[in-house]
Amino acid sequence: MVNQYNPKTHVGEQPIRVLQNNMTYWLHNTSEEFRRISLHLAEQKKLNVGIVYRIGCDPINSKDENGNPNAPYISHGIIQLHESFLSYLWCMAYSIYNSHDTLIRNERIRGKVGLEIFEVDPTVRSRLETIISVFAYGVKLINEYYPWDIKTLPNPEYFSESDQDTIGKINAVYLSAISFILCHEVAHSYLNHSERKIQEYRKVGKIDTNFQKSLEQESDLKAIEWLLKSPPDGSIEYTLKVGIIVGACSLLFLSKSVNSNTHPDTDERIKYIIESCLPGDNSEYWALACIAFNLWDDLYRVGLEWENDINQTYEELFKDILNQ
């Protein structure tokens, strides 16, 4: 077995602690643009170098004694991340990426992206069962805290040698997803959103929902621009794009509704992220989004109608879901 945990260097209660030091390293090494901009913001005292890594065994929906959420946010130039959210994000990276790998690459399903597939062989079935267990653990963290059972469930800390390759891929997708979230938070600072909100309030006496949503969209687009501007090589570019989509899709599972008062509606958000930022041959990316919606549909029993047309592209399928 491989055990990545080193008590001297890894701080935290949850197995995700083993990737703590990789976060900023990964981000600085994948995006030269981000590195340049964050140093510039730090010089201007608009951003504090480093991240507050919050430790604890609390669910994502709980708040600390100051009323701060466990979802990522930036306050006074400091990015706050909580372990439970990071564990959740890793589980979403695992579920979405592996569903894609297992189902789409195997061409087991075409028109219908569903986990209930028929006549699957035992290997595929066992992989799907593992995916469902990891997904179930991740979404449980939204409202309740349970320790990660590292002896039975895939995780980044403790795994067999034969799983090393898969865990490495999931770690890379997870680190790309967290890079997107960090860039999004830094973009708020870079684009002077706090100041612009104050100006807006002075001008019209309130912060309009559409104004608030437009700032969130600006941050999303800026984050993607930084990440994809100069990726070091082609192979990382694919992982980064998958990570961006996983990062965006992971917001979906936090609630049964896609509507929000503060952020663009999650379905529209995923759509513009794929459309405006990942042009070209992007069918694989639409497939990832379809998988996320399928998992969400199963989780909250939303009751989406899934078109079972083998000639339909994943982009068409996604837009069909969006219209519902």
CB 184, min distance to Zn ion, A: 6
Instruction: Name the residue nearer to Zn ion (CB basis): 157 or 216.
Output: 216
In the complex with Zn ion, the residue whose CB is nearer, 62 or 217, is: 217
What is the CB-side half-sphere exposure of residue 299 using CA atoms within 13 A? 24
- Closest to Zn ion by CB, 22 or 61: 61
For the CB of residue 169, give the shortest distance to Zn ion in the complex, in Å. 28
Specify whether the CB–CB gap between 173 and 26 falls below 8 A. Answer: no
Residue numbers 101-160 binding Zn ion by CB under 5 A: none
3-state secondary structure of 75: strand
Residue with tokens 């608009």: 46
**Coil vs helix vs strand at 34:** helix
Q: Which of residues 205-264 bind Zn ion (CB under 5 A)?
A: 216
CB of 80 to Zn ion, least distance (A): 13
Residue closer to Zn ion, measured from CB, 153 or 207: 207
Binding track, positions 161-180, relative to Zn ion; x by CB under 5 A: --------------------
Amino acid in position 308: N
Smaller CB separation from Zn ion, 216 or 297: 216
How many residues contact Zn ion, by CB under 5 A?
Answer: 1
- Bridge partners, residue 159, by sequence: 2
Residues 6+ apart with CB under 8 A from 247: 89, 176, 177, 178, 180, 181
Contact criterion met (CB below 8 Å) for 154 and 163? yes
Residue number, nearest CB to Zn ion: 216
The nearest distance, CB 173 to Zn ion, in angstroms, is 21
Q: Please say which residue, 14 or 219, places its beta carbon nearer to Zn ion.
A: 219
Distance in angstroms (rounded) separating the CA atoms of residues 191 and 36: 15
What is d(CA 246, CA 256) in angstroms, rounded to the nearest whole number? 18
* Residues 39 and 194: beta-carbon distance below 8 Å: no
By beta-carbon proximity to Zn ion, the closer residue of 216 and 267 is 216
Rounded Cα–Cα distance for residues 70 and 10 (Å): 20
Tokens of 30: 């994948």
Smallest separation, CB 145 to Zn ion (Å) = 25
Residues in region 264-303 near Zn ion by CB under 5 A: none
Q: How far is the CB of 171 from Zn ion (least distance, A)?
A: 25
126 neighbors 154 (Cβ within 8 angstroms): no
Q: Give the nearest distance from C-beta 248 to Zn ion in angstroms.
A: 12
Binding residues vs Zn ion (CB under 5 A) = 216
